[in-house]
Amino acid sequence: MHYVKKYFTEGLIQFAILLSLVGVRVDVDSYLNSYFSPLLETSLGPASVYIQTQFHSLRYNLDDYSLQHKCPDLDYYFTSRRLLNEVKSLGTPRFPITEVNAWLVHTVARESDTDSSVNGAQNTNDNENNSEGAHNHPRQGSSQHDHQQSDQHHHTGALVNPSGSELTKEDIELIDILWREDVALGVGREGFESCCLQRGDDHTAEDREEKETHNQDSETSLQPSDEEERERPASDNGDLPGGSPSLSLLQGASLEPQSVLGVDVEQRWQDFLSLSELQGIETENVQPIPNPTISEIGMDISEAISQNVSLHDATQAFRTRSGVTRSEGSQNLLRLESTNSTHVDLLLSVTNLTSELFPLVDNCTRNATNQNPLSGFLDEAVFDQINLMGLGIEGMDNMDTQILEEPDSDSGLSLNCSSRSLGSPSSSEVSSSSSSCDDEGAVGYSSDAESDSWDAVGGAEGSSTFCHSQNSKWSTMQTSDHIYHNHTYNQPPNQNVLTSPLQHSGCGKLKSVKRNTSEDLDLSRDERRARALRIPFSVQEIVNMPVDEFLELLSKYDLTEAQVTLIRDIRRRGKNKVAAQNCRKRKLDVISNLGNDVDELQMQKEKLLKERTQQNKSIGTMKQKLNELYRDVFSRLRDEQGRPVNPSQYSLQCNNDGSVLVVPRRLMTLQQKPDKKTKDKKH
DNA sequence: AAATGATGTCATATC
DNA sequence: GCGATATGACATCAT
């Protein structure tokens, strides 16, 4: 009787819990109080409240809201209820009860596998449930039924999922581990556990211990409330102490004899149905939750992962027997194992887990909620969510693949480049590379890609079909990847043979070419031409070497006509370039010198002008003094009669002997005329 | 957008 | 005559 009571209690509590999972608090208290009030004292109220709030806190976690307390108090619960009632009053769609049906399907599946004795009753029950149209999907039911009848032995200890694949014991263990981690989160642990009771008492005992440890260690927020603490002793009469009330019920259920359990589960299901019928208002008043259960479940599991739960082994074992998703999970596992493991890896495994679990839910709910017009809502939501998770993981998978592959590809490119780069200089000696286009290794000419670019530019002189096929291969490869690589190979950077210091000062045409390919940034036109024709000499060498050496070089090596022409042109242009630069420099020097000369002459001119001014000034002073002297002299002169001499009629004449004569001006004019005549005659 | 300077290149002259 | 050099002229680019 004790077991019966426990199972009734457990069933009802499960029902309440499951309803709470979908955001509904079914008012079963009155029902339970009226029939099972002693049992209800143990854990029903707290359990439903607890799980409901816990579950909604997960929903918030899924929606990236702020993290909620994992142990919400009753205020939160009543707030949630109030809000849900408000939403319900708005006439929002009713939320289907597919969650409940899903777990019941698990229960049926488990019980169908327990033993043959139970199978008979189970099959009967399945048939009954199928006839009711509220339990199993017809396909699943029939397949399950067929499998069980034809190959019961094969399916012993395994759950059968709708797709026909099996959930073996390892899977169940995995699921159990996941749920064990989620037990504190309260997501239908009991329902799932009821499916897994077939594992036996030993295993259940182990689980019990693990449950306790996990409940005590992982979720501090899930510590039972005071009310729960008070009720714990009541649950200790048949249940193990510790953990949440749901856990207590679970443990109690696990201790049940399976034979009784199979009947009781069905009885509970019948009770549930009757309860739903009796409280149709309540079941119909199932309160909607926007985008609820699947995301919550998914996040529930992922949150279990986020709790540093080491599910690695379990998930791995789980994956190894999965189908496509398992293989994907394995790939993901292989990629991610090297790094921090548990989070993403387990998320992947959980995704696979959900993808394996929810088909059961899908089919079962579809079966169980055929009469519910909203039965597809949850299914679509479920699989949308799963798909989203899968897509997310696939996206992450791709990202990881890229991350992991890019270095390889990049390194491969580098290897290609380096290998080619290493290969060419070995054959880059002039003696071996000048005559044949097969020889790539001109000194300092690492790439022939310039030929195409050069030809495209139009700078080809002579036949540039020289090794064109090979160049084309190079060009396609180099235009993007080899551009910024060092082509100096074994040569030191300062010995880049194609780099002429004079050619880096700036070149107009070169700049125009440079814009065509980014590789041209460091190469002049002649350098590109020389590279294109595989000239085995550097431009600098061609330009700067002496004439005799240059002629010897031309005669020594078997160069084609185009090469010789190009070499001569390179030398001519190079020298002319230098000459032009020198010429301009000289011109500038000449201009500068002429400017200096102009300045100097200007200064000299100014000096002379100043000097002339000084002289003129002196002359003026002297004339003034001379005039004064005249006046002074004539003022003192007297004629024979003693009269003053008129200066206008007489003038002073200085002779070479220093004598001074006073000569009448008339006579002086007469003397000057014959002198002029004599001078003119002389000329 | 025009002016200007710098540079490369070609043609030509000169040595 | 050849090569080197010098230089004017032109084109192109950058400022």
> CA(A502)–C1'(C7) in Å?
20
The mean pLDDT value for A638-657 works out to 85
- Which nucleotide is at minimal CA–C1' distance from A570? B9
- Verify if strand C has an atom below 7 Å from the CB of A585: no
Distances (CA, A) of A167 to A100, A135, A164, A183, A297: 20, 20, 10, 20, 19
Give the pLDDT band (50/70/90) at residue A613.
Answer: very high
- pLDDT digit string (tens) for A402-460? 333 333 333 322 323 333 332 333 333 333 333 333 333 332 223 333 333 333 333 33
**How many other C-beta atoms are found inside a 10 Å radius of the C-beta of residue A242?**
19
Q: Check pLDDT > 60 for residue A560.
A: yes
The share of chain A scoring above pLDDT 90, in percent, equals 4
Nearest CA-CA partner of A99 in A178, A204, A26: A26
Q: Within A225-292, where are the H helices?
A: 226-235, 245-254, 258-278, 280-284
- A191 CA to B4 C1' in angstroms comes to 89
Work out if A593's Cβ lies within 7 angstroms of strand C.
Answer: no
In this structure, of A84-88, A171-175, A383-387, the range with the lowest mean pLDDT score is: A383-387
Which bases along strand C come within 7 Å of a protein CB atom?
3-9, 11-14
* Residue range A307-319: mean pLDDT, rounded: 34
- pLDDT score recorded for residue A625: 94
Q: Which residues 510 to 569 of A reach strand C, CB within 7 A?
A: 511-512, 547, 550-551
Question: Rounded to whole angstroms, how far apart are CA atoms A681 and A323?
Answer: 140
pLDDT value of position A604: 95
Is any atom of strand B within 7 angstroms of residue A187's beta carbon? no
Give me the pLDDT at residue A14, please: 59
Check whether A318 has a pLDDT greater than 70. Answer: no
pLDDT of residue A341: 37
**Segment A475-498, tens digit of pLDDT:** 332 333 222 222 222 232 233 333
In whole angstroms, B6 C1' to A509 CA is 12
Name the protein residue, with chain letter, whose CA is nearest the C1' of C12: A508
In the prediction, which pLDDT does A603 show?
A: 94
CB A300 within 8 A of CB A187: yes
DSSP string, A25-89: ----HHHHHHHHHHHHHHHHHHHHHHHHHHHHHHHHHHTT-PPPPSS--HHHHHHHHHHHHHHHH
Residue appearing with tokens 């551009």:
A483
Tell me the β-bridge partners of A167: A159
**Strand C and chain A: which residues 40-99 have CB closer than 7 Å?**
none
Residue A339, SS3 per DSSP: coil
pLDDT for res A165: 43
Q: Which of A175-179, A307-311, A525-529 has the lowest mean pLDDT?
A: A307-311
Confidence of residue A168 (pLDDT cuts 50, 70, 90): low
Q: Which tokens in the block code for residue A224? A: 């039972």
Report the SS3 class of residue A493. Answer: helix
pLDDT for residue A57 is more than 80: no
User: Which DSSP symbol is given to A522?
Assistant: G
Size (chain A), residues: 683
Residues 6+ apart with CB under 8 A from A493: A486
Q: Residues A314, A173: contact at Cβ < 8 Å?
A: yes
Q: What is the H or E stretch that residue A653 is in? A: strand A650-654
Q: Which helix (H) or strand (E) holds A661?
A: strand A660-664
pLDDT exceeds 80 at position A627 = yes
Ranked by mean pLDDT, the top range of A8-22, A94-108, A208-222, A631-645 is A631-645
Nucleotide nearest to A586 (CA to C1'): C6
* Contacting residues 473-512/A vs strand C (CB within 7 A): 508-509, 511-512
| Interacting residues of A404 by C-beta distance below 8 A, sequence separation 6+ | A335
pLDDT of A565 reads: 84
Nucleotide nearest to A515 (CA to C1'): C13
Positive or negative: CA dihedral A494, A500, A505, A506: negative
**Count of beta carbons in the 10 Å neighbourhood of residue A127:** 15
For residue A610, what pLDDT band results from cuts at 50, 70 and 90?
very high
Residue nearest to nucleotide B6 (CA to C1'): A506
